[in-house]
Amino acid sequence: MQVLAIGNSFSQDASAYLHKIAQSAGKPIDIVNLYIPGCPLERHFRNMMSDSKSYELEVNGTYTGFAVTMKEALLNRRWDVVTIQQASHMSTKWDSYSPYISPLAGYIRKLSPASRLAVHQTWAYEEGSERLCGLMGYETQQQMFEALESCYRRAADEISADLIIPSGAAFRELVKEGIAPVYRDTFHASLVIGRYTLGLVWYQALTGGDVSEAGFDFLAEPVGAETIKAIKEYVKRVGK
């Protein structure tokens, strides 16, 4: 399977382990990430319009050193899935999605007509953090999640997306069940548990495969077998 993510650091987190997870489960995925830190839909739209060579190209979780345009990436190969997402700090505000998401979806479908179009649901910030309470103005993580979930659902409907990848829902489950650390800086995914969870969520959403079949011996740091088992159960829960 060939997957292109038009995103930012949150799709970078999600793509870090996806290739290895899929490989370990016997369902290969090549994941290419178009990376600009903190990039919102409006900037993706403007890059599309200007054909700007602004994206750092990452392949299977590795930085390549190449810069590309969105058009170059979309025409590079036959993509099975193309994903889009909002920047996390704008994810709860519908007026930051529209009018940008519809023309982006149209452009993707024009240049890659055989692809399924997926919306990547990002996640709420860490409970009690300055970003959550100060920047976003929420008292609880659940409030931010509910707001972003509503916006992503509306976005998926707006563009008739083929699927939503529920990363935010998976993080909510891990936090609720006491799995830690999920975050590394109160908003990005932790480099092991957080990123591994995201890889499982994407693998399940994209392939329909059973995450129980995915390995974990390639992780950057050791994680206990019981913790891995619990994470997989919570990922299955959000996939139902």
What is the percent of the chain with per-residue pLDDT over 90, rounded to a whole number? 100
Angstrom distances, CA of residue 88 to CA of 145, 181, 224: 11, 19, 30
CATH number of the domain encompassing residue 110: 3.40.50.1110
Backbone angles phi and psi of 93, in degrees to 5: -115, 110
pLDDT at position 121 is 98
Task: Please write down the long-range contacts of 158-162, taking CB distance under 8 Å and 24 or more positions apart.
Answer: 158/97, 158/98, 158/101, 158/102, 159/101, 159/102, 159/105, 159/117, 159/119, 160/105, 160/117, 161/105, 161/117, 161/118, 161/119, 162/81, 162/116, 162/117, 162/118
What is the domain extent for residue 47?
A: 2-239
Q: How many domains does the chain have?
A: 1
Which stretches of the chain score pLDDT less than 50?
Answer: none
Task: Tell me the pTM.
Answer: 0.98
pLDDT at position 130 is 98
Backbone angles phi and psi of 101, in degrees to 5: -70, -35
- Calculate Rg over the CA atoms of the chain: 17
What is the sign of the dihedral through the CA atoms of 189, 185, 121 and 174? positive
Q: How many CA atoms within 13 Å lie on the side-chain side of 143?
A: 9
pLDDT at position 102 is 98
Instruction: Tell me 213's DSSP state.
Output: G
> What are 21-70's pLDDT values in tens digits?
999 999 999 999 999 999 999 999 999 999 999 999 999 999 999 999 99
Say whether 120 sits in a helix, a strand or coil: strand
pLDDT at position 158 is 98
pLDDT at position 240 is 78
